[in-house]
Amino acid sequence: KMAFESLSDKLQNVFKNLRSKGRLTEADVKAALKEVKMALLEADVSFKVVKQFMKSVQERAVGADVMTGLNPGQMVIKIVNEELVALMGSETTEIALRPAGEITVIMMVGLQGAGKTTTTAKLAGKLKSKGRVPLLAACDVYRPAAIQQLQINGEKQGIEVFSMGDKQSPVNIARAAVEHAKSRNMNVVILDTAGRLHVDEEMMDELVQIKEAVHVDQTILVVDAMTGQDAVNVSEMFNEKIGIDGVILTKLDGDSRGGAALSIRATCGKPILYVGMGEKLSDLEQFYPDRMASRILG
């Protein structure tokens, strides 16, 4: 299944019907909007988000007959497109980095299996290609395989991985990693923290401790797009408990519905920075709300 395939199919059908009608009545437009609403709900977009989205679309559609040059069908399509872009945050958000002469500390957080360790390495590669000198720090001491995985993926990209095995506390490792980066004139430290099966107090406490100990600049949450509403709930929870600056949505390549991509910005208020589009280290793409909307509407 391709990204957004099923949502895209449904919306394209609605619009095809609209276009084929020629002259449209108000009832036709109403019926089409109802189908748009159903398609979004089936795509696992948050109920609250769908409600607000439909309200905006309807308000604009009612006042839209003043616009020139478009028939009602085209108008509805244009409005839905623009509102989808707005829903996803309108603009592309870049990760805020300090000037190259300073160290930016990025903390990667997320639940186990979300793709955090893979994404951490992917992000380091992206920053390296932008001319930064990143250090990957293996702070997931609970899953020894995670340390090894980070080392392998760092090596593949010529990126140094800092590890102290699994006997030190994550806070100590994070501190030592930042010191190491300083002494080597590196300018980004990316902390791969532990992923647990569930959001629990202990996990959150540990993340807060790391955040304070090394003055984390950017906390980035990695969530699995295929988990739909769960991804949305996890984002809200992490943002409430530790504060996040942005989200990376993984496994979008296998997500035919798109509910998480469409809901996260509106529910937790934080931007999607990148999307994971596959298992390869190069499969990380910047998030463009307008391109996503085009992909959905075809």
Smallest gap from Cβ 224 to ligand GDP, in A, equals 8
- When asked if residue 254 is in the footprint of ligand GDP (CB under 6 A), the reply is yes
Q: Interacting stretch for ligand GDP, rule CB under 6 A, among 19-27, 79-87, 89-97, 111-119?
A: 111-119
Q: How many chain residues touch ligand GDP (CB under 6 A)?
A: 20
Provide, rounded to whole angstroms, the least separation between the CB of residue 69 and ligand GDP: 41
Residue 134 has phi, psi (to 5 degrees) of -90, 150
Is 253 part of any known ligand binding site? yes
Q: Determine if 278 is a binding residue for ligand GDP (CB under 6 A).
A: yes
276 touching ligand GDP, by CB under 6 A: yes
Stretch that binds ligand GDP, among 53-61, 108-116, 207-215, 285-293 (CB under 6 A): 108-116
Q: Are residues 18 and 76 in contact, defined by beta-carbon separation less than 8 angstroms? A: yes
134-138, strands of its sheet edge to edge: 160-162, 134-138, 188-192, 104-109, 218-224, 246-250, 272-276, 284-286
Virtual torsion, Cα 235, 236, 240, 242, nearest 10 deg: 0
Of the candidates 231, 276, 225, the residue with the CA atom closest to the CA atom of residue 120: 276
Instruction: By CB under 6 A, tell whether 116 contacts ligand GDP.
Output: yes
Tell me if 73 is assigned to a ligand binding site: no
- Binding ligand GDP by CB under 6 A: which of 72, 73, 89, 115? 115
250 sits in which H/E element: strand 246-250
Contact with ligand GDP (CB under 6 A): which of 112, 151, 168, 209? Answer: 112
Question: Could you say which residues in the range 179-208 bind ligand GDP, by CB under 6 A?
Answer: 195
| Contact by Cβ (8 Å): 162, 176 | yes
* 32 contacts 17 by C-beta, under 8 angstroms: yes
Q: How far is the C-alpha of 9 from the C-alpha of 173, rounded, in Å?
A: 48
Work out how close the CB of 193 gets to ligand GDP at its nearest, in angstroms, rounded to a whole number.
Answer: 10
Q: CB neighbours of 31 closer than 8 A, spacing ≥ 6?
A: none
What is the nearest approach in angstroms of ligand GDP to the Cβ of residue 198? Answer: 13
Segment contacting ligand GDP by CB under 6 A, of 30-38, 51-59, 229-237, 271-279: 271-279
- Please report whether residue 250 would count as binding ligand GDP according to CB under 6 A: yes
